[in-house]
Chains A and B, each alone.
Chain A
Amino acid sequence: MTRLDDSTLARLREALREPDLSGTRYRLLGLAGTGGMGTVYAVLDEELGRRVALKVLDFEDPDIEARLRREAVVLARLEHPGIVPVHDVGRLADGRTFYTMKLVQGERLDQYVAREHPLPERLRVFLRVAEAVAFAHARGVVHRDLKPQNVMIGAFGEVLVLDWGLAKVLDDSRTGENGGPARRPRLPGDTGEGAVLGTPGFMPPEQQAGGSAAVDARADVFSLGALLQWLLQEGAPAALRAISRKAMAQLPGDRYPSVGDLAADVERFLDGAAVSAYPEGPLRRVARAVARHRVAVGLVAAYLVGRGAILFFTGR
């Protein structure tokens, strides 16, 4: 046997990592990204002549395979501009499961934020994330792994929530947004009671405790609160910090009841209105009202000063 030097080893590793696309309509173009469950490649769909993303398991594993297939099924039921559409699911000749989806070119939220965008812009990205998550909740799906690395900002400013591999399907029939722990039969790939899945820092206490049954839409409210906190720079307004704190309350019952309520508070902040999470004293309320209606207040003040001057000089 010839010696496997480092470069030979690297080539062999690469050859065995790459998906075996023989017998499929796809041709490998290159690596697009890596994730917890598998690797994403850019491939050419030779039937349709378009580039798509192919997510493939790193190796055959029944549990992870079920999770990948489930992720594809979850994505297929979530048709929303903030969620990547899935095209196809199947198994490659090497036994690994894959699915294809729209190829999104852009940057992850952590990379985006590193370029120091102003706060209102960050908050608008946050609201787009919240919209997509609220839509998923309306379809009975809880993401359970919201974090900066799972948000992509596309080349045209579109905001996409990625990596639904840990998603929990609450109830096939639900259409409401409020997330109670509704029941439905278990699907292959459901995470069992006691399994701790998620990312520390963005994961609520009930998820950290491994209680899958106790996790509902308010788990995502917590993670969005953590995401909001992460987006805030030093010296961020107290009202925004209060919103984040409320979303991240230890007890689900103390959080915003829905993502919609959380988003509404952030929108109120952007509009200069009072936010529910931050009680204000009279002085603060006046100061905010002045700041919110700066032009009107300025005009009125100018009018009053002018009027006063006329009265003063004319003696009338």
Chain B
Amino acid sequence: MAQAADERVARRFPPTRHSALAAIREGGEEERRRALDALAEAYWRPVYGYLRLHWRKPHEEAKDLAQEFFAHLLEKDLLSRFDPAKARLRTFLRTCIDRLAAGEGRAARRLKRGGGAAAISFDFESARAEVEQAAGVAEAPDVLFEREWARGLFAAALLRLRDRCAAEGKSQHLALLEQYDLAAVAERPSYADLARRFGIATSDVTNRLAWSRRRLREVLLDLLRECTASESELREEARNLLGLAGP
């Protein structure tokens, strides 16, 4: 299950204000591995989606390449070549994926699932279904990768939020967010509908929904902070992630 795998990863690297990037580059072996897991949590969906949609890789090959990509990040110390002054981490990672995907001659040497370090088991089957729904949309590689990156971060943040709500006994708060903000506009209930459905006052719906959104925002920005190298990159990426960047 994607959910179980993601939750496992989320717990391995609890919400923190530290950059996973710094830990991968400067930390000890264990710290680096945990940090890589956090980076993978945010990036596995966009990496897989990008390989499928842009590189037109079949499912099995995209899955193996995605795993190999994260193993390489750690084993080949790829992030030591990253210079935050020259590019965003997201751009650097996309370039690394392009190199990996283009290196067809190395296919035979690729690590197989479970065979290498940091071979994280994500639910590629569910990601496959998602990607195949989106197949056929012609987009520039950077646009496609950014879209998949945003989708991946939001999905990971929702999973972390669920973890947090469960720990704090606020499952109803999460349920309100899922039934309101995640519902299609045509099917979106009114606050009064939700109040009846949950047997609470309308003002409680307003307050609990506001709480869930605040927490989701916090979790999302924490996750983003872990995956950026500097405050300026964090600001820029937060603007992209929240759809605030101008044309």
B-contacting residues of A (Cβ < 8 Å)?
Answer: 1-17, 20, 22, 34, 39, 58-61, 63-64, 93-95
Contact = CB atoms under 8 A, between A and B. Distances in A.
Contact of B133 (A3, A11, A58): A3
Contacts of B210: 20, 22, 93
B154 A9 contact: yes
Contact of B235 (A3, A5, A13, A61): A61
A16 B220 contact: yes
B181 A3 contact: no
B238 interface: yes
Interface of B: 2-3, 6, 129-130, 133, 147, 150-151, 154-155, 158-159, 181-182, 184-185, 206-207, 210, 213-214, 216-218, 220-221, 231, 235, 238-239, 241-244, 246
Given A4-B154, A22-B210, A12 B239 contact: no
A10 B154 CA distance: 11
B94 to A, nearest CB: 19
Contact of B206 (A6, A22, A60): A22
B159 A1 contact: yes
A44 to B, nearest CB: 16
A59 B238 contact: yes
Contacts of B184: 7-8
B214 A94 contact: yes
Given A9-B154, A13-B150, A17-B242, 5 more contacts: A6-B147, A12-B181, A17-B244, A34-B244, A93-B214
A12 B217 CA distance: 10
Nearest to A8: B182
B242 A15 contact: no
Contact of B150 (A9, A34, A59, A95): A9
A15 B238 contact: no
Given A12-B181, A16-B216, A20-B213, A58 B3 contact: no
7 contacts: A1-B159, A4-B182, A5-B133, A7-B185, A13-B150, A17-B242, A94-B214
Contacts of B129: 3
B243 A17 contact: yes
Contacts of B218: 95
Nearest to A38: B244
Given A2-B182, A93-B214, A58 B154 contact: no
Of all A-B residue pairs in the complex, the 6 with the closest CB atoms, nearest first, are: A13-B243, A22-B210, A94-B214, A15-B181, A16-B217, A3-B130
Contacts of A11: 181-182, 185
Contact of B242 (A5, A6, A13, A61): A13
Contact of B238 (A9, A58, A94): A58
Given A58-B239, A59-B238, A16 B155 contact: no
Most buried by B among A2, A9, A59, A93: A59
A60 B222 CA distance: 11
B29 to A, nearest CB: 31
Contact of B217 (A5, A9, A10, A94): A94
Given A2-B182, A3-B133, A15-B213, A59 B151 contact: no
Nearest to A22: B210
B220 to A, nearest CB: 7
A4 B238 CA distance: 18
A3 B181 CA distance: 13
B233 to A, nearest CB: 13
A7 B243 CA distance: 13
B16 to A, nearest CB: 16
Given A39-B244, A59-B221, A12 B154 contact: yes
Contacts of A13: 150, 241-243
Nearest to B45: A4
Nearest to B241: A13
Contacts of A64: 235
Nearest to B150: A9
A66 to B, nearest CB: 13
Contacts of A22: 206-207, 210
Contacts of B246: 34
Given A1-B2, A8-B182, A16 B242 contact: yes
Nearest to A18: B213
Contacts of A63: 231
B130 to A, nearest CB: 5
Contacts of B185: 7, 11
Most buried by A among B2, B184, B242: B242
Given A16-B217, A20-B213, A1 B207 contact: no
